Copies of this chain bind each other. A is one copy, B any other.
Amino acid sequence: MLTNIEEQIKIITKGSDRLVGVDELKIKLERSIREKKPLIIKLGLDPSAPDIHLGHAVVLRKIKQMQDLGHKAVIVIGDFTGKIGDPTGKSKGRVALTDEQVKENAKTYTDQIIKILHPDQTEVRFNSEWLGELKLDDVIKLAATTTVARMLERDDFQNRYKSNVPIGVHEFFYPLMQAYDSVALKADIELGGTDQTFNILMGRNLQKTMGLEQQTALFMPILEGLDGKEKMSKSLGNYIGINEPHQVMFKKIMEIPDELIIKYYELATDEHPDKIKEIKNKLENGENPRDIKYELAKVITSLYHTPLDVEEAMNYYDTAFGRKSIPDNIPELIIDLDQDKLADIIPLLIRDKYIPSGSEFRRLITQGGVQINKESIVLEDLDMVLVCGDILKIGKKKFLKIIK
């Protein structure tokens, strides 16, 4: 276990949005080091979510980093509400999940989680274990710990109340149940997205009301998807699934906008904050973002695939898309329909200063320095007929597009 508290907090807060209860966290860490007892990190998960993507993984990665510091993760599968079904409305068709279905969903889920977390420092619990035992009198005591006004402060409730969209009284219970999970587990830290602020802070309050030590609340920001704008989500198609083939994962990471490189480093890798700072400096000092993103793609793909797979993904990417692929706005070269072999256009290339001479061009070809549509050519290819749209690459940086 890492005994430097400041260093632990540096790692814990890396990339985070907000930490509530930092003083308490220091006390907890101090005791944890003194008594050699790991902190309990809680994460609540809805068993309905199917495939985990890098957006979901933000909190999981953070937990993994805390496991590296010696702490213990408790994943709470919210099977209780799944089993009772959503009783809202009249749709009798919406049948509650059976025990088997819930367990099956949870298995699919934990199989993915284990790709990120350390299995021996991870406990998976189902909240029906304690929620299923609560009786009406416990529920009333639980409900008495908060007020209607406080509940209606929650953004979504407030909006619905103001615009007359019905809120079922039972909906007030979901935050309370999540809060009770923290009580049942005596959680030291709870993680969640910023959209979980209300519920996680309610856990803090409930622990206090019940005479327990309050959990520290760690909120992680939302990770934008490939489009760089919207929250990563399967339905928008802007996601990178952690179970995607290595080649797909690598290529997708190469597609994120440059502005997100550092955020992805912070939220989707386990790199040390100091390392990320260095990378940020490189970027600011004009290093090619594409090269840094290539590194990022390697780092992230390595988290979910074997070194051999990563190697394969890099090769595939280099071959299929060119490690340094084709820039936008390539100048066009208009050629005659009856002078359309590669050899025919050498004078035009000299004219437009792409090459100094025909012999130099031939030398470059023999060295593999000329590509047509990303494939290096040989001297025999001088006889090939160019078609409209062919991309010619000469040397390291000169591109041109054939138009005829």
Contacts and interface: CB of A to CB of B under 8 A. Distances in A.
A272 B173 CA distance: 50
A177 to B, nearest CB: 8
A317 to B, nearest CB: 50
A21 interface: no
Nearest to A173: B140
Interface residues of A, number: 38
A169 B152 contact: no
Contact of A170 (B87, B140, B170): B140
A275 interface: no
A388 interface: no
A164 B149 CA distance: 8
A136 B139 contact: yes
A167 B138 CA distance: 18
B149 A148 contact: no
Contact of A134 (B88, B131, B136, B152): B136
A170 B149 contact: no
A335 interface: no
B139 A139 contact: yes
Interface in A133-166: 133-144, 146-149, 151-152, 157, 161, 164, 166
A144 B168 contact: yes
B172 A144 contact: no
Contact of A169 (B83, B134, B161, B172): B172
Contact of A172 (B137, B148, B166): B148
A286 interface: no
A345 B131 CA distance: 91
A37 to B, nearest CB: 31
Given A132-B137, A137-B84, A169 B164 contact: no
Interface SS of chain A: helix
A144 B90 CA distance: 10
B135 A147 contact: no
A232 interface: no
B164 A141 contact: no
A82 to B, nearest CB: 11
Interface string A47-90: 00000000000000000000000000000000010011001100
Contact of A167 (B148, B164, B169): B148
A135 B137 contact: no
Contact of A166 (B88, B149, B169): B149
A267 interface: no
Most buried by B among A88, A142, A168, A177: A168
A176 interface: yes
Interface in A338-396: none
A1 B294 CA distance: 91
A245 B172 CA distance: 51
A148 B152 contact: yes
A80 B141 CA distance: 13
A254 B140 CA distance: 47
A143 B131 contact: no
Nearest 5 A-B pairs (CB), nearest first?
Answer: A143-B170, A87-B144, A143-B169, A144-B170, A134-B136
12 contacts: A80-B137, A84-B141, A132-B135, A135-B135, A136-B173, A139-B139, A141-B170, A144-B168, A146-B169, A148-B151, A169-B172, A172-B172
Given A84-B137, A148-B161, 13 more contacts: A80-B136, A87-B141, A132-B135, A133-B135, A142-B170, A144-B169, A147-B169, A148-B152, A148-B167, A148-B171, A149-B166, A151-B169, A172-B172
